[in-house]
């Protein structure tokens, strides 16, 4: 016999407790983001490849190594979305919302990257995220970060999570910093990894994000962005820190925090945990003032973050088990129509109810007893509610069942 088909490498089924954890993360995020005024947006799982090529940067690992890109039957180049921000910004333009700002979007759904599967990260993975489009003040950045902290607090995992922040500066700051990095890394080019040598020519800031051990050793003495900030960029960063303190969000400064995509500027941040080994980032984001303009819209500032649902789900306590439905048992084949009427009535009253599909009354009662349900509704010439824990019974009607079951 041929072996059964398995999920494709880098994908998995989400069933049982995994599904409960996944659902709890999304519903918690949905509830908290609503408190901050975010509305849920849903964008397509696949987009025109051009949506990602330029904004993500030609040297980013996502574009060069990880995107799922293919030609459809019409010859159009299509890419499964590797992240959520570009699609939200495209939707802002498409929906004609650039004149009604600010816009606050929350999203949840699958993303796709062809990378080596690792703990809490798959080739099809899932993210929650928020994007705040329109405001350019550091208060907006602080509120977006505070919203993320609030979600992590509601999930009960902040004891093992640290917020790390950095600034990427404005355009002038980045130009100054870029020149300093080029000078430094050029002097040590013989020690750079092959990837970082490529980045040195196209985007030297990406070297700061390198995981290569030799590159990491060079970074210990590399120039810092703080020494190259303009007065405006420094004021923005100081404003961010002041507002985070006002929101009671603890943080540490980390000059190595850079976002992997070219469209980021000013604020960059990550929420990092020590509970998942080397794969410690559970939420990350930053400011991207030029992205909407790159996509053909007006100059609309933006700030947002994305978080991996799989990694968050690994950190939370198991959600409370949902109550097992009431079991409806017809006391003979002749009573099945009445039992189905009871079943329908309970569900209409928002009470979870199930029934066995076949078997005599004794067999169905045995199955009810093994199900873990607290009650069975026995439907014969009359209706009785049976407590499956102690075996006691009481008379009931369809009208009184909801009240009896709520006691």
Q: What is the mean pLDDT of the chain?
A: 90
The pLDDT score that the predictor gives to residue 389 is: 86
| Beta-bridge mates of residue 320 | none
Better-predicted residue by pLDDT, 208 or 240? 240
Beta strands in 185-264 (DSSP E): 252-253
Question: At residue 103, does pLDDT exceed 90?
Answer: yes
Better-predicted residue by pLDDT, 255 or 110? 110
Read off the tokens for 280: 């410690």
- Does the domain at 17-170+230-315 match CATH 3.30.420.40? Answer given as no
Quick one: pLDDT band at residue 365, thresholds 50, 70, 90?
confident
| Beta-bridge mates of residue 95 | none
Close Cβ partners of 211 (under 8 Å, ≥ 6 residues apart)? none
Read off the tokens for 93: 């333009």
Better-predicted residue by pLDDT, 118 or 102? 102
Mean pLDDT calculated for residue range 178-206: 88
Q: Are 65 and 97 in contact (CB under 8 A)?
A: no
Alpha carbon 183 to chain centroid, angstroms: 38
The pLDDT score that the predictor gives to residue 58 is: 55
C-alpha span between 392 and 106 (Å, rounded): 49
C-alpha span between 250 and 163 (Å, rounded): 7
Read off the tokens for 186: 């050029």
Q: Which residue has the tokens 């109810």?
A: 353
Tell me how long the chain is. Answer: 407
| Beta-bridge mates of residue 77 | 71
Quick one: pLDDT band at residue 316, thresholds 50, 70, 90?
very high
Task: Outline which parts of the chain fall under CATH 3.30.930.10.
Answer: 17-170+230-315
Element (H, E) at 133: strand 124-133
The pLDDT score that the predictor gives to residue 370 is: 82
Residue 212, sorted as left (phi over 0), alpha (psi -120 to 50) or beta, turns out to be beta
Question: At residue 57, does pLDDT exceed 80?
Answer: no
Read off the tokens for 21: 């954890």
What are the distances in angstroms from CA 53 to CA 150, 157, 194, 362? 33, 35, 22, 65
Better-predicted residue by pLDDT, 60 or 104? 104
Task: Outline which parts of the chain fall under CATH 3.40.50.800.
Answer: 326-406
Nearest 5°: phi and psi at 366? Answer: -60, -40
Quick one: pLDDT band at residue 212, thresholds 50, 70, 90?
confident
- Does the domain at 326-406 match CATH 3.40.50.800? Answer given as yes
C-alpha span between 196 and 185 (Å, rounded): 9
Q: Please, how many CA atoms are within 13 Å of residue 382, restricted to the half-sphere of its CB? A: 9
Q: Please, how many CA atoms are within 13 Å of residue 3, restricted to the half-sphere of its CB? A: 3
Order of all β-strands in the sheet with 39-40: 39-40, 103-112, 124-133, 302-308, 281-287, 265-273, 161-167, 252-253
Q: Are 126 and 108 in contact (CB under 8 A)?
A: yes
């Amino acid at each position: 016999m041929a072996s059964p088909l398995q999920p494709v490498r880098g994908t998995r089924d989400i069933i049982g407790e995994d599904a409960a954890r996944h659902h709890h993360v999304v519903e918690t995020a949905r509830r908290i983001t609503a408190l901050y005024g975010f509305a849920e947006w849903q964008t397509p799982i696949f987009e025109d490849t051009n949506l990602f090529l330029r904004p993500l940067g030609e040297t980013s690992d996502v574009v060069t190594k990880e995107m799922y890109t293919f030609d459809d039957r019409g010859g159009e180049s299509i890419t499964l979305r590797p992240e959520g921000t570009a699609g939200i910004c495209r939707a802002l333009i498409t929906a004609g919302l650039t004149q009604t700002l600010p816009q606050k979007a929350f999203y949840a759904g699958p993303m796709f990257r062809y990378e080596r599967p690792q703990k809490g990260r798959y080739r099809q993975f899932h993210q929650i995220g928020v994007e705040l489009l329109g405001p350019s003040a550091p208060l907006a950045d602080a509120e977006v970060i505070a919203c993320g902290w609030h979600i992590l607090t509601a999930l009960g995992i902040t004891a093992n999570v640290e917020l790390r922040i950095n600034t990427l500066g404005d355009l002038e700051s980045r130009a100054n910093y870029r020149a300093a990095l080029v000078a430094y890394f050029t002097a040590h080019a013989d020690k750079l990894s092959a990837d970082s040598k490529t980045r040195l020519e196209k985007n030297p800031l990406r070297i700061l994000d390198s995981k290569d051990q030799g590159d990491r050793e060079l970074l210990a003495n590399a120039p810092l962005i703080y020494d190259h900030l303009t007065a405006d960029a420094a004021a923005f960063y100081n404003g961010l820190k002041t507002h985070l303190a006002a929101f009671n969000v603890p943080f540490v400064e980390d000059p190595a925090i850079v976002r992997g995509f070219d469209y980021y500027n000013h604020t960059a941040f990550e929420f990092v945990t020590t509970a998942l080994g080397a794969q410690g980032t559970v939420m990350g984001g930053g400011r991207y003032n030029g992205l909407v303009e790159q996509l053909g819209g007006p100059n609309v500032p933006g700030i947002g973050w994305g978080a991996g649902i799989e990694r968050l789900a690994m950190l939370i306590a198991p959600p409370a088990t949902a109550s097992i439905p009431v079991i409806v048992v017809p006391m003979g084949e002749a009573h099945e129509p009445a039992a189905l009427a009871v079943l329908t009535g309970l569900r209409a009253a928002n009470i979870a109810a199930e029934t066995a599909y076949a078997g005599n009354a004794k067999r169905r009662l045995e199955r009810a007893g093994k199900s873990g349900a607290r009650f069975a509704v026995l439907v014969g010439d009359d209706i009785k509610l049976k407590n499956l824990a102690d075996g006691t019974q009481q008379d009931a009607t369809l009208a009184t069942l909801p009240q009896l079951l709520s006691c």
